[in-house]
Amino acid sequence: MSSPTNSADAVQKSSIKVSSDDDHLRALGYEPKLDRKMGFWSNFALGFIYLSPMVGVVSIFGLGLTSAGPASIFWILIVGVGQLLVALVFGEVVSQFPLAGGLYQWARRLWSGSYAWLMSWIYTAGITIGITTTALFSADFVASLFLGTPEEPSVSASPLQKSFIAIVVLVICLLFNLTGTRTLARISKIGLFAELAGVILLGLYLLIFQRKNDLSILFDTMGTVSENGMVAAFLGASLVGLYMLYGFESCGEIAEETPNPARMIPRTMALTVIVGGGSAFLAFAGYVLAAPNLQSIVSGETTNPIPNILQDTLGTFGSKVFIVVALTSFLAGVMGQQTAVSRLVYSFARDDMFPGARHLAKVKKSSHVPVNALLAVNVVPVLLIVFVLFFPDSLFRIAAFQVVAVYFSFQMVVFAALRARSKGWKPAGPWNLGRWGALVNVAALVYGVAAIVVLSMPSGDESLAFTDRWIALIGFLTVVAVGTVYMLVAKPHRKSTAPEGDAIEVARLLSQSK
């Protein structure tokens, strides 16, 4: 691995205009090693399948209706606007720093190595668990595909079946990922097509041909507010959007594998939120309006409503086709998660930020992918899947803090960007918000803090034990504490060989080089 150079000196001394992708990368202190094969639609597809509105709607539909009835659908729009603000802030940063490992590199350039290390620790923990839960959740779809009947379309896999299927999913996705960026681009596009077919086309079909409820039902809470109270219903329903609309940051994780990333990635991140949120809203509305017995879902009597709705509207064959489409989306989604976190680990290792960095930073010459980083990020998911096999109830505890960790990592970058602005940073990438940047940055931070507070609140089921009610916050604080202790003791950020040059300095020099 070549030694990185001081990024400020590289920009200042170079006579080459930083207009080409590789020149921009060298100006930031790194030599190009990855393969730029992810075009605009492939990059967008990666973010979209990671966000996965299909998986999100299927997973959260019942919870939303039991919390606040059909009116919970509007949280998709509220959270969509908030996440779009975050995506716009990320867009300004990635346009100036189009580097692999996105969030880590952005936080380091905007603040410091120690700040970036802790943020990356939190984010990596969250996404690693995301790989695990996505793979495990696919198991019930596989079971329903092969074991489901017209009388019982929804089948839950046994703990052993669930673990076996999840590991097979991880292995398949890993093998595809190891073949190179070109394969990732193709699979991402296939996943995008599956998602759009399963979300938009199905949503339109249900709305137009299978509608059993009036449109006005979308504004009805169907008694949930009077039962739970306005505040409880309002906050409970917020999970409909909060659990669904993230993953757009993965577009930036592969910046060094994307042509013209400084202009392209800000657009693909924003497009991911807009199209993902819009299609999720359409699908959610379609399921609500096509539900033959909506009250049974709202009351909690029907615990897994989507297969029943599909069986009633599409029949057995149509339901099986949908499950195949959904499984395609699951595979593409796991591949996207593996890619995002492996590129962050690769970027981390390239800067010598933890033990074994030299091995994890290696890039295979034939495929141009960080093979060791890809292998490493799948070790913990396999161990967690085996753990869940013996302790099935632990899945809830393992997954609870996942979304909190991701949102907190996002806001660490948003806050770092606002801090850098206060010190004089003016985004110097070819894509920026101009005079609106600071206002959008503040709005994104306010939204993000509010989202973290809501996600950290205890479960409304007071019959649960204290630890179960507060498990999301407890899990998150535990991860933060472990990471902080390690950072203070081992001081990995002080051993870093990362290029120097903070956001303000690099912005000034990049502006001079134009």
Q: Residue 222 — left, alpha, or beta (φ > 0 → left; ψ -120 to 50 → alpha)?
A: left
Distance CA 107, CA 115 (A): 7
Helices (H) and strands (E) in the chain, counts: 26, 0
What pLDDT is recorded for position 335?
Answer: 87
* Structural domain count, the chain: 1
User: Per the domain annotation, does 493 fall within a domain?
Assistant: yes
Averaged pLDDT score across all residues of the chain: 84
Give the orientation angle of helix 102-110 with respect to helix 74-96, to 10 degrees.
70
pLDDT 10s digits, 156-182: 788 899 999 999 999 999 999 898 878
Rounded CA separation 139/245 (Å): 22
Q: Does residue 167 contact residue 385 with C-beta atoms inside 8 Å?
A: yes
CATH of the domain at 404: 1.20.1740.10
Domain residue limits at 338: 31-498
Residue 378 located in a structural domain: yes
Distances (CA, A) of 65 to 19, 68, 79, 120, 173: 50, 6, 17, 35, 33
Predicted local confidence at residue 460, as pLDDT: 65
Would you say 477 and 83 are in contact if contact means Cβ atoms under 8 Å apart? no
505 domain residue, yes or no: no
**What does the pLDDT read at residue 10?**
42
Phi-psi sector, 352: left (phi>0), alpha (psi -120 to 50), beta? left
Indicate whether 504 belongs to any domain: no
Give 249-312 as a DSSP string. Answer: THHHHTGGGSSSHHHHHHHHHHHHHHHHHHHHHHHHHHHHHH-TTHHHHHTTSSSSHHHHHHHH
The parts of the chain modelled with pLDDT lower than 50 are: 1-18
How many residues are present in the chain?
514
Angle between helical axes of 181-196 and 53-68 (0-180°, round to 10):
40
8 Å CB contact between 248 and 80: no
Q: Is 19 part of any domain?
A: no
Q: Which pLDDT belongs to residue 197? A: 82
In a domain, 16, yes or no: no
In a domain, 26, yes or no: no
Look at residue 513 and tell me if it is in a domain: no
Alpha-carbon 163 to chain mean position: 23
Q: What is the pLDDT of residues 369-409, one digit of tens each?
A: 889 999 999 999 999 999 888 887 767 667 767 889 999 99
